[in-house]
Amino acid sequence: MFLRWMVRNDKSGVDFGLWKGIPQSELLLPLDVHTGNVARKLGLLQRKSNDWKAVEEVTQNLRKFDPADPIKYDFALFGLGAFEKF
């Protein structure tokens, strides 16, 4: 999560974008129970456990939507699971 904040740059001020040496495209999704459950329901993740292979799988699938910034979907996945009980 820290890498996301320091590498990504967004207009809402959530991500600071201070570290310019790491491309956004190389970030991996910070996987928690909420993002994992929503990713499974959306067909973005097949693994049953929230482990490193799951992080790689879901990130690879998010790269199909936006190869330059696949992690921009993190808050949407988290919010659907944590706040909307999706």
At 34-76, the pLDDT tens digits run 999 999 999 999 999 999 999 999 999 999 999 999 999 999 9
For residue 57, tell me if it sits in a domain: yes
pLDDT at 53: 98
The closest of 16, 9, 76 to 58, measured between CA atoms, is 76
- For the record, the structure tokens of 34 come out as 């909420």
For residue 62, tell me if it sits in a domain: yes
CB 57 within 8 A of CB 47: yes
For residue 61, tell me if it sits in a domain: yes
Confidence of residue 22 (pLDDT cuts 50, 70, 90): very high
For residue 65, tell me if it sits in a domain: yes
Q: What range defines the domain where residue 36 resides?
A: 2-10+25-82
- For the record, the structure tokens of 64 come out as 């199909």
Q: What is the pTM of this model?
A: 0.88
For the chain, what is the domain count?
Answer: 1
